[in-house]
Structure 1
């Protein structure tokens, strides 16, 4: 059985679009709220290995802008992952896990191939 998990925020408009797309296509998936459920370092490491921490870290978020300059400077993969564990809203969303793959962000064409 195919396991599809969508990680995001319930209040995120882009996550809502992704959920509507999956619902309309009849795709069976689970939704995990990053704020409510958090995310562990092991999962973040898998995502980072699949797409790179630079793509995973949302530098346009309010949370990013509110971080101290010292926290934003000289980032490495380890530091970025630690920040995302402490502040899950720093993760670019939605993150979709399926068939051992990871998609970050929502693009309708990518989601069309899931049904």
Structure 2
């Protein structure tokens, strides 16, 4: 599978997509206009090992809802990601059996190296 979950209104996501120089085999899904399905999220969780690793603690709603003071479970992380796209750490890049989550320089460098092999 070659897929990227991103936000087309996010400048960081767009910069990363340009940086990766993807071939046409990649499927891009704008998570705001095309919501993540339960099946898609479960596939991401299977590759990453947890819903927490997919969850963005930098989201504005995370602070507004005071979730940092809540004792969140894996089920909670799954619920919030499915409930609102902003809770998915972006971008999520899936390349074969590899998953790269977020926009850290290290993550993107690793994704680039893996994709270009």
Q: Give 1:57's aligned residue.
A: 55
Shift of 1:74: 1.9
Q: Give 2:4's aligned residue.
A: 6
Q: Give 2:23's aligned residue.
A: 27
**Correspondence 1:41 to 2:38:** yes
Greater CA deviation, 11-20 or 103-112? 103-112
Specify which structure has the bigger relative contact order, considering alpha-carbon pairs within 8 angstroms and separated by 6 or more residues.
1
Q: 5+ residue gaps in structure 2?
A: none
Shift of 1:92: 0.3
Q: Could you tell me how far apart the structure 1 residues matched to 2:79 and 2:98 are?
A: 22
**Is 1:63–1:87's contact at 8 Å kept on the other side of the alignment?**
no
Q: Give 1:17's aligned residue.
A: 15
**Is 1:27–1:114's contact at 8 Å kept on the other side of the alignment?**
no
- 1:26-105 to structure 2, matched below 5 A, reads 26-28=22-24, 29-51=26-48, 52-67=50-65, 69=66, 73-105=70-102
**Correspondence 1:109 to 2:110:** yes
Q: 5+ residue gaps in structure 1?
A: none
| Aligned-residue CA RMSD (Å) | 2.0
Q: Could you tell me how far apart the structure 1 residues matched to 2:11 and 2:111 are?
A: 18
**Is 2:93–2:111's contact at 8 Å kept on the other side of the alignment?**
no
TM-score (norm 1): 0.82
